[in-house]
Each structure stands twice: as C-alpha cells, then as structure tokens.
Structure 1
C-alpha cells in the first residue's frame, strides 16, 4: 500500500506498490490487522482530500447521507446510526450547521429534543458527495474485475461481522 495518494486527476498506478509504512515486529502476529489499519488511514486521508474540495471533512458526508436518506433525525439517533459518540456528533452537527448544510428545529413530539434536518444548500451538495464516493471507490478498486470487487466486499463484510461478534462477547482479563 503506497503512502502517497494519486492526484484526483491522475489514474492510480496499475502495479501494486509496497507499503511505505513498515510493519513493526510487535505487529507480526497481526499482519491483516496492520494492513486494515494502514488501509483505513490512507482511505480516510484520501477521502479527506476529495471532500475538502466540496467543503466537507471526513464523517460529515456520512451524516449528510443519513439525513438525505432518512430525513430529519434527533442527534442521538445520528449517534446510534453512525456508531459515534455524543461529543463528536455535536461538533460535526455544529460545523455542518455553520456551513449552512443542516439546521435544528424543535421536535414536534419531544419538547426536549431538536431535529437535525438537511437544508436546501445541502441538497445541492448531494450530487457532489455521490461523485466523491464514486471516485474514491474507483481509486480504491482500480484494476479490480467485477468478481474481485465482489470478493473484496464479501471479505470486508466478513471481517466486520467477526469484529461485531467479538465486541458482543464479554472479554476476560486474559483477552483484554
């Protein structure tokens, strides 16, 4: 996995490059976990480069996707949907609000809660977010056949499933 990312106007190199982040000896027992760490970090960095061009930071587009899809949501529901924490969601919503992409309004059913809803300005942003995600997908899977894309997705889903299952099990002292 290369440390550098291709410029948005360039095609990704066809030949795989070696990882530029060395695998420390202590990670030798977890080569897949280390590869996931490197991939996630690089993916988020590259997503950030693409999103910055449309005025968003990584994670903000996910909030917007859920609001566009589901309509107005309580902030606590966004926390649950995105498996976030309240402080992070508060900062994210505040920044989106300052940018004019969301607004708060009183909940008609719960006087203590407010609903976060997308603004008209955010609806104009939707197509750009979709394009960013398509470009990110294309860069990430450059050179993959349709079958390889399906296999990669199935593998990632299985890894996620395994971790969800592991997180649901209580850990004993030796496993922590």
Structure 2
C-alpha cells in the first residue's frame, strides 16, 4: 500500500508529539499550553474567545487550559473593570521563561526533523504546509 499524504502527515505529527511530550513535562507545561503562550507572546491582552478562534481550540477547552495556566503563574487575567470590557488574558514573566524553554526544545526537535533538507527545501516545506492549512481553514498559520 502506498503512503498517502494523510498517513504521512499523521505519522510525522505523532512522532514529533512523542519527542516533545517528555521535554514539555520537564519544562512544566501541559498539552495546549505552549501554543497559548506563543500566541500571547505575540498578541498580549487577548480575549479568551479570540484565543480559541486563533488557535482552533474549543472555547471550553481554552477555559480549562487557561485556568490551569493562571494557577501555574504562566498567565494572568485582567480585571474587567480595569479594561472597561470583558476580561483579557496576558502572559507573565514566568510564562515567557517557560515559552523560551519550549522554543529551545522545539528548535532542537526541528533540527533533528529537518536533517538532510536544504534551506530552500525547508522554506518550501513550510510554504506547502501553510498553503494546505489555508486551504483547510481559510486562515494563515500564526
């Protein structure tokens, strides 16, 4: 049976996830938290619904992840009265520290993943994946 695109993407996703999970736990992060930290590092003071929309996560799931992140000191919620609208979420210093560790881990795994690829091939690969994401969601990858 030939390898299909779906099969290849699925296998690579799971292989990468299996490499990142131990490091994620060592840093002190749980699934879902790194992408929220990454988003907040670029778009600080976000509304919960905007985080869910930007990251393709169900709002109820985002709520649960955010609650755990507040308890861990990775993010903080603003006082709605302070913002004169609904509560917003922002990253803390501790959250930035953990994000830096996460990005370092991801860089190491990316180096392993992309061994033998030229710089041009790496750029093309990311472009192809970005275009596929656009085709499936109508959104740019953040």
Question: What is the aligned counterpart of 1:109 among 75, 84, 87?
Answer: 84
- Give the secondary structure class of the aligned counterpart of 1:114: coil
Q: Is the 8 A contact 2:37 2:96 kept in 1?
A: no
Output the TM-score relative to the length of structure 2: 0.83
Task: Give the structure with higher Rg (CA).
Answer: 1
Q: Which has the higher helix share?
A: 2
Output the TM-score relative to the length of structure 1: 0.69
More RCO (CA 8 Å, sep 6+): 2
Q: 1:105 to 1:162 in 2, by over 3 A?
A: closer
- Where does structure 1 differ by over 6 angstroms across 4 or more consecutive aligned residues? none
Q: Is the 8 A contact 1:54 1:128 kept in 2?
A: yes
Distance in 2, Cα, partners of 1:77 & 1:161: 18
**What 5-or-longer segments of structure 1 have no aligned partner?**
1-22, 166-176
**What 5-or-longer segments of structure 2 have no aligned partner?**
none
Say what the alpha-carbon RMSD is for the aligned residues.
2.0
